Amino acid sequence: MKVMQSSEIPAFVDEVAATGCDITAVPGVGYIFGDADLPRPVYRKVLPEIRRISEHYGERDHLLEEITDYLISIGRSYPRPARY
């Protein structure tokens, strides 16, 4: 299986987000795909694309902290960053 490189994180996040899934960092925990929040018909349509993305980028568990940090840096975190 392919192993994802840290340089691929922005593209990975962009592709997941483009499916309509809200990929979100949970500081201190990791990150989640918001695919479960999609209406069932949309979820069924998006699931093959999510699987394709996962297969394309490959194993990414070793990048958990880096993906989480990247998501936080672009404002994709829960709770949402405070705006001043």
Query: How far is 44 from 41, CA to CA, in rounded Å?
Result: 5
Which residue from 35, 62, 34 is spatially nearest to 48, judged by alpha carbons? Answer: 35
38: phi > 0 → left, psi -120 to 50 → alpha, else beta; which? beta
| pLDDT digits 0-9 by tens, 56-79 | 999 999 999 999 999 999 999 987
Name the band, by pLDDT with cuts 50, 70 and 90, for residue 28. confident
DSSP code of residue 79:
S
Global pTM reads 0.87
Closest CA relative to residue 17, chosen from 2, 33, 30: 33
Distance of CA 29 to the CA centre of its chain: 14
pLDDT band at 37 (very low <50, low <70, confident <90, very high): confident
